[in-house]
Amino acid sequence: MIVNLELLLGRKVLDVNGEKAGRVFDVRCEQQGKEAIVREWVLAAGSHRTRSVSDVVQFLLLQLRARTETAKVRVVPWDKLDLRDPRNPRLTCRIDELPAE
């Protein structure tokens, strides 16, 4: 599956029960030839999105906030994030099943 990262960064993620899991904060990839293979997604909890600011600025603010606050950061294995609808990503497990970093 090919998904544009700009569609995911900063997006709100819900878990399998519809609970808030956080927002897509980062992606961890592995280079394989000319391709980058996603290995993990990083979610930052407690962040919010402001609709009046551009998406790029929103993402930069999200990164800054997650690094400066005591926000929980969760690492999601690549196969635990359902991306069939990239604008509404969902975990395939409960948020409390994922380790906090």
pLDDT for 85 equals 92
Structural domain 5-91, CATH architecture: Roll (2.30)
The per-residue pLDDT for 51 is 41
- Predicted local confidence at residue 55, as pLDDT: 60
Residue-level pLDDT, tens digit, the chain, 101 residues: 777 888 888 899 999 999 999 999 889 999 999 988 999 999 987 655 544 445 666 666 666 665 655 557 899 999 999 999 988 999 999 999 987 77
Distance (Å, rounded) from C-alpha 20 to C-alpha 73? 13
- Burial zone of 70 (CB within 10 Å; 0-12 exposed, 13-18 middle, 19+ buried): exposed
Q: What are 66's two structure tokens? A: 């997650």
Distance CA 78, CA 67 (A): 22
User: DSSP code of 18?
Assistant: S
Contact 85, 9 (CB under 8 A): no
The residues spanned by each domain of the chain are 5-91
* pTM: predicted TM-score of the whole model, two decimal places: 0.73
Give the pLDDT score at 50.
42
Asked whether 91 and 78 are in contact (CB, 8 A), the reply is: no
